[in-house]
């Protein structure tokens, strides 16, 4: 299995990023090939501050390594360090039907929410296709909302192969588990755009205060409640051991508890769960040259493979390599 995925550096990693995707990316790093990149070119659609984008990109590398991405197993690199991607993107753009891109739900949704309808956002799926095809990836772990973009990639690759001969490997989506949906502090899906996140690497004391401020319903203390669907229980379930989770579920169904006690238990469980990654992150942050070396080595490996695929595509369509 040849795995590839990327994550945009648009700010601090939160619980939703980890449980919804990163945890599963790391589980897939023990494969024939695992390429993971920090998608700073994609992030330009949202981050228009040069200093912030530079900071977010490097901090994302530290975060991923602290969370368990192993450079001895997986290749970690920054997207813009592989210029072959942009070259391949243009080749794919020349054969990308406007109607195909206009039908992309992610584009229509973002425009509906007020995000500027620029060319970068519109052609996002083509750059994503270049990311995938450049490494002969056959497996792309994505959330359910990104499956359409993989289909666009397959359409573009299939059309190119039909017109110019077999050039690109046809990838397939590896849909991440829907059960990994993480509620935000307001009960909605955890998202930076909703301002309802819990940052993975937040100071433990600061995060405890944030958890204690989560708004709950007005259920009387003696009233029993079904745990599933309750924001505090759902968050607790992510960071607590199985036995503690079962005990908490039994408490909910029995009743006779206050939400303040649940919040304290959640904060305690979160502090223990994130203690090791937070310690690793502090060590990595103190060794920036080591992180840069990992990214440099990753980029060199990624460029070698991307150059091979780009040359293949250029030769197929008549562009001198």
Can you tell me the distance from the alpha carbon of 182 to that of 228, in angstroms, rounded to the nearest whole number?
12
DSSP tag of 176: P
Question: Residues 284-307: pLDDT tens digits?
Answer: 999 999 999 999 999 999 999 999
From 52, 189, 225, 264, active-site residue: 189
Please confirm, yes or no, whether 301 is among the known catalytic residues.
no
Instruction: Provide the whole-model pTM.
Output: 0.94
Can you tell me the distance from the alpha carbon of 28 to that of 31, in angstroms, rounded to the nearest whole number?
6
DSSP tag of 276: H
From 2, 192, 225, 301, active-site residue: 192
Question: Residues 89-113: pLDDT tens digits?
Answer: 999 999 999 999 999 987 888 788 7
Please confirm, yes or no, whether 189 is among the known catalytic residues.
yes
The full set of domains in the chain, from first to last, is 2-181+287-317 (3.40.50.620), 192-282 (1.10.240.10)
From 2, 52, 73, 110, active-site residue: 110
pLDDT bin (cut points 50, 70, 90) of residue 57 is very high
What average pLDDT score do residues 124-142 get? 96
Can you tell me the distance from the alpha carbon of 52 to that of 187, in angstroms, rounded to the nearest whole number?
29
Please confirm, yes or no, whether 2 is among the known catalytic residues.
no
What average pLDDT score do residues 188-193 get? 90
11, 81, 146, 235, 295 from 52: Cα distances, Å:
9, 18, 26, 29, 19
């Amino acid at each position: 299995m040849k795995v590839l995925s990327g994550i945009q550096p648009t700010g601090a990693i939160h619980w939703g990023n980890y449980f919804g995707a990163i945890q599963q990316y790391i589980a897939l790093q023990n494969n024939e090939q695992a390429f993971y990149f920090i998608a700073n070119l994609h992030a330009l659609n949202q981050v228009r501050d040069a200093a912030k984008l530079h900071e977010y990109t490097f901090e994302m590398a530290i975060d991923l390594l602290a969370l368990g991405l192993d450079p001895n197993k997986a290749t970690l690199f920054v997207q813009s360090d592989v210029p072959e991607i942009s070259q391949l993107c243009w080749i794919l753009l020349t054969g990308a039907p406007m109607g195909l891109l206009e039908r992309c739900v992610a584009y229509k949704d973002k425009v509906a929410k007020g995000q500027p309808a620029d060319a970068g956002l519109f052609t996002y799926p083509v750059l994503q296709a270049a990311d995938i095809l450049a490494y002969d990836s056959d497996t792309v772990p994505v959330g359910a909302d990104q499956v359409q973009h993989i289909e666009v990639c397959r359409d573009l690759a299939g059309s190119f192969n039909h017109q110019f001969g077999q050039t690109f490997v046809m990838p397939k989506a590896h849909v991440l588990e829907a059960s990994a949906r993480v509620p935000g502090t307001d009960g909605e899906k955890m998202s930076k755009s909703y301002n309802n996140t819990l940052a993975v690497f937040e100071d433990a004391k600061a995060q405890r205060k944030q958890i204690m401020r989560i708004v709950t319903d007005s259920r009387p203390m003696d009233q029993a409640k079904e745990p599933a669907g309750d924001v505090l229980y759902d968050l607790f379930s992510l960071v607590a051991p199985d036995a503690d989770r079962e005990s908490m579920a039994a408490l909910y169904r029995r009743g006779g508890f206050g939400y303040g006690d649940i919040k304290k238990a959640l904060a305690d469980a979160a502090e223990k769960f994130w203690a090791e990654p937070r310690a690793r992150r502090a060590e990595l942050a103190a060794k920036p040259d080591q992180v840069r070396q990992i990214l440099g080595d990753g980029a060199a490996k990624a460029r070698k493979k991307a150059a091979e695929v780009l040359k293949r595509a250029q030769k197929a369509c008549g562009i001198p390599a």
